[in-house]
Structure 1
């Protein structure tokens, strides 16, 4: 059986031990957890995880030559080991003051805390590509290069492709494929995602899940239903992130602690248009990144995107590259891989490692 996920022998670099770690007080009661790997005086690179709400993983350091790079990872507000956590019974403190602007400010505070004063690389995939692009738009003078995977523009049409599909008509015609969407490729996983929501609410799945997550449970049955809903939300992404995943193993995305934080934070962002240029449900129609690509003209950009990515379909990368070229950006390295969404898809992993191995050394022509 073909499995697309990277195996231990596929990695070029071994897992290294952290050289430093800790929590950083940022604002509004949030403490973000960070870990540093690699060479203390190496080229600084800040790794920006996905989700939002996915948390960072130690294996991210394995993409980098440890004798060259200084690798800084962190858990964004509300997830991973950051405090408070959206996996807590009361998620409100973790979601309070949790916007894209807040995350960008956290990144600025973290680089200052770790003594990074010059430019740094940003390495991010999926939502990590979104936040990296938003950071670079806000502070282009601080970014040396963007190394991105699985471009995610967070517009309504991007979210509808993944979360809406044929949900509105699913009850009476689950095989209706008149609207495009990831459900067409993963019908069995889609069934579990859709059936959590009552048929009369399925015309807007993100809003329906928002109502469900925001509701105060009146009893244990309602609490358990809410938890199952977080597992359905997170599990849908976990099952669609790979071309071919070993179905005999547990889906990490459905682990309760992870699912609660991941689903609640993602939905909190998506119902607000990911807080890109605004807030509230009206902002779901934003086109913030493409509207501001001119601010990226001076930053070399490397993009890896799986041709068969069903979480962030490749049309988003195509649109970004076209917009960059339209404003005269001449330093874009765009690689389409025969892979799905995850950074742990074999071809994505190898392409990212190759890019990092061949970046020009600082000061070279």
Structure 2
């Protein structure tokens, strides 16, 4: 068999960026809670007197990276990146302190409160732009619903509503019948385009437990390891969970390089925070976002979504737009790119940059 993977070209953005990579002008740690002492890592880029834009990363459990500052004109914007509770350089993390500590008081309500704490700490008193992708789009929408007067505009990428069916598409697929018919298309799901990667994800779980893959993974993460074998199983599960999402995030996967998703410390935190939030329905009431769209109907909203997104299928953007239309609202711009899920795919990155360049200025 001939492997043509080396002939593929990456779909990721390379030298097409409009704005150069720059160093942060400031950074710090902000304690936002005690018992445990959750402390957020943040960085500031661009113009300290510019229009503030808060960047909300994905996951839950992901992290920000300096490249995220390149979507924005550094002469116009004051760009704030931060790692949410338990993520990235924030402390404590699952990897550094274990899930019993890192997942305590780590819910959507606390993350919303953290955004306001960061606003206060950085002297952001008026309106701000909120820029969020994937889970970051979820958090941006929840924040806007609760604090609409703080928002000048919403810039959302890879819409994630987080309904059970959305999660089953990515994590359940044909897992229940995989042992007997691994290639049978018995249910919709991301697995259809990634059979080998899907096998690696499914085979961590014994066949008799595959009827609910998220529950089975959560049980492994919740286990208190009694020995080296238990610890090895937890790490294997965390890496499988993390690498699965990282692989399917790009239209053209990086077959030989999982990047941060293959890093043990990142995977332990990322996988366990995601499983924690998913097991609790994102700590939101059913239909919370779509049922409260009236609260944000007057906020200028911009949406970018990859047509071939296998982490957050395009139907989630369709449902959000339909809910907005029911209140007589519509996104100011809606761009469907020929891309997958990642914000770092060229068409998506360029669309987001163009939207930021064209935003109405904050008075």
Instruction: After TM superposition, give the deviation of residue 320 of structure 1 in Å.
Output: 0.3
Instruction: After TM superposition, give the deviation of residue 89 of structure 1 in Å.
Output: 5.6
Query: What is aligned with 1:205?
Result: 213
Contact 2:41 2:89 in 1 (8 A): yes
Query: What is aligned with 2:10?
Result: 3
Query: What is aligned with 2:5?
Result: none
1:347 correspondence with 2:347: yes
Runs of 4 or more above 6 Å deviation: none
- Aligned equivalent of 2:110, options 98, 102, 117: 102
Q: Which runs of 5+ in 2 are unaligned?
A: 1-7
Superposition map of 1:61-80 within 5 A: 61-80=69-88
Contact 2:247 2:258 in 1 (8 A): no
1:142 correspondence with 2:150: yes
Instruction: After TM superposition, give the deviation of residue 317 of structure 1 in Å.
Output: 0.3
Instruction: After TM superposition, give the deviation of residue 252 of structure 1 in Å.
Output: 2.3
Q: Distance in 2 between matches of 1:71 and 1:329?
A: 28
Contact 2:152 2:362 in 1 (8 A): no
Superposition map of 1:293-312 within 5 A: 293-312=293-312
How many residue pairs get aligned? The number is 354
User: What are the Cα deviations for residues 300-334 of structure 1, in whole angstroms up to 9, with x where unaligned?
Assistant: 00000000000000000001001101111144311
Query: What is aligned with 1:160?
Result: 168
User: What are the Cα deviations for residues 10-39 of structure 1, in whole angstroms up to 9, with x where unaligned?
Assistant: 111111111111111111310011111100
Q: 1:202 to 1:23 in 2, by over 3 A?
A: same
Q: Distance in 1 between matches of 2:290 and 2:75?
A: 36
Q: Which runs of 5+ in 1 are unaligned?
A: 278-285
Contact 2:52 2:79 in 1 (8 A): yes
1:27 correspondence with 2:33: yes
| Root mean square deviation, CA, Å | 1.0
The SS at the match of 1:334 is strand
Scaled by the length of structure 2, what TM-score is found?
0.96
Superposition map of 1:1-365 within 5 A: 1-7=8-14, 9-28=15-34, 29-88=37-96, 90-277=98-285, 286-363=286-363
The SS at the match of 1:110 is helix
